[in-house]
């Protein structure tokens, strides 16, 4: 049984690479236009493959496993409909990247990356930075919201045209670690319930609790199953974020 679990976990970690990450919105809803002003679409020449959150006028926070050569990256802000970009859209090339220095590609500990836009974003009704938690801060709410354009059916492949959100309960760390056999670190948050989850296309996207960016969509075993989704804990990397924004 333990060997079977290890094989499943290895398959999971192989899946969690670049645009093959299984992170999509399942069991969610279409959000109101311009209601998620910090939402970013991280795009390759093939289109959207990860989400992100605008943390300042010139930096987007996403997952480190979403890494892609920056000369081929495009960041789109103010976007609502992937297929029909409207007048609120701002498009940027990327001029610098910072992966968290403790990022572990195998365990996905510290799964965080900052992307620097070529120019500052214009602050509008559709584009504003997200509020960050303080370093080491905690939150007591039990229900948070994840956002993304990932596919909306467990066995689906097509991305959602419209930005989706899903309200998901935070899962106790001990309970989550029992599901994942000790793979959950202190730098991770677990959330989700069967039928509601993030999956392919949502990696790197924001996980919001009481208006603050508490998590980055990172990984999970399958989607919307009894296994919770796993998110990078932003409160544990706030100092790193501040240092990058101030010095790069």
DSSP 3-state of 175: helix
Nearest to 210 by CA among 136, 131, 149: 131
- Which one of the listed residues 111, 160, 202, 218 is annotated catalytic? 111
Residues 163, 182 contacting (CB under 8 angstroms): no
- Which one of the listed residues 41, 160, 203, 218 is annotated catalytic? 203
- 218 Cβ contact partners less than 8 Å away, ≥ 6 residues apart: 16, 23, 63, 65, 108, 111, 188, 203, 229, 230, 231, 232
Q: In the chain, where do the E strands start and end?
A: 29-30, 39-44, 47-56, 59-62, 74-77, 90-99, 113-117, 143-148, 164-171, 188-191, 206-209, 212-219, 229-233
- The reply to whether 140 belongs to the active site is no
- The reply to whether 65 belongs to the active site is yes
Ranges of H-type helices in the chain:
2-15, 173-179, 238-247
Taking residue 186's Cβ as centre, other Cβ atoms within 10 Å add up to 8
- Which one of the listed residues 23, 41, 48, 65 is annotated catalytic? 65
Distance between CA atoms of 226 and 240, rounded to whole angstroms?
Answer: 33
Distance between CA atoms of 1 and 82, rounded to whole angstroms?
Answer: 43
- The reply to whether 203 belongs to the active site is yes
| Residues involved in catalysis | 65, 111, 203
């Amino acid at each position: 049984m333990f060997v079977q679990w290890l094989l499943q976990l290895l398959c999971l970690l192989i899946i969690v690479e670049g645009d093959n990450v299984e992170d999509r919105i399942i069991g969610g809803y279409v959000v109101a236009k311009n209601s998620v002003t910090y939402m970013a679409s991280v795009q390759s020449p093939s289109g959207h493959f990860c989400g992100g959150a605008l943390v300042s006028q010139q930096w987007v926070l996403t997952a480190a496993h979403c890494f892609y050569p920056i000369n081929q990256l495009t960041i789109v802000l103010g976007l609502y409909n992937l297929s029909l970009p409207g007048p609120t859209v701002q498009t940027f090339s990327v001029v610098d990247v910072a992966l968290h220095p403790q990022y572990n590609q195998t365990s996905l500990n510290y799964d965080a990356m900052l992307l620097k836009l070529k120019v500052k974003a214009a602050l509008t009704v559709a584009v504003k930075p997200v509020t960050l938690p303080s370093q080491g801060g905690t939150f007591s709410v039990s229900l948070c919201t994840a956002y993304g354009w990932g596919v909306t059916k467990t066995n689906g492949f097509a991305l959602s045209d419209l930005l989706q959100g899903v309200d998901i309960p935070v899962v106790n760390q001990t309970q989550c670690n029992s599901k994942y056999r000790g793979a959950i670190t202190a730098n991770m948050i677990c959330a989700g319930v069967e039928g509601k989850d993030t999956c392919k296309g949502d990696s790197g996207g924001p996980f919001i609790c009481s208006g603050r960016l508490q998590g980055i969509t990172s990984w999970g075993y399958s989607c919307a199953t009894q296994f919770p989704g796993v998110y990078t804990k932003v409160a544990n990397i706030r100092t790193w974020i501040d240092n990058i924004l101030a010095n790069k």
